[in-house]
Amino acid sequence: MIDLILVSAQESRGGQHWSDDDYDVRLGDATGPVVGKIFKAVMTPDVLDWLWTITERMPRKPTDRGYAATREEAMEAFKKAWASSDETSA
């Protein structure tokens, strides 16, 4: 199983101009490569405020992004999509 962790954009990218609701998804640990993002979007469908997207893969698939009601649900959906893609590429 591959570890994916959230790191605040302020910590990950430096500077203080990033929103408190903006995160990078890193592979392994806080210094691993950025493989995606999770952030609270401005314009969203209904109560699905959090947008998640896998940025590492090319070409991107429609299943590499989505919306969720909470940050935790967004991370779970991200992990599921990440694992699903690993299984199909093996």
Q: Which residue bears the tokens 């947008």?
A: 51
Query: For position 2, what pLDDT does the model report?
Result: 73
The first and second tokens of residue 17, run together, are: 């101009």
pTM: 0.85
Query: For position 86, what pLDDT does the model report?
Result: 61
Looking at residue 70, the DSSP 8-state letter turns out to be S
3-state class of 86 per DSSP?
helix
Query: For position 71, what pLDDT does the model report?
Result: 96
Name the residue ranges covered by the structural domains of the chain. 4-89
- pLDDT tens track for 5-59: 999 999 999 888 899 999 999 999 999 999 999 999 988 777 899 999 999 987 8
Q: Which amino acid is at 30?
A: A
Per-residue pLDDT at 70 exceeds 90: yes
pLDDT band at residue 90 using 50, 70 and 90 as cut-offs: very low
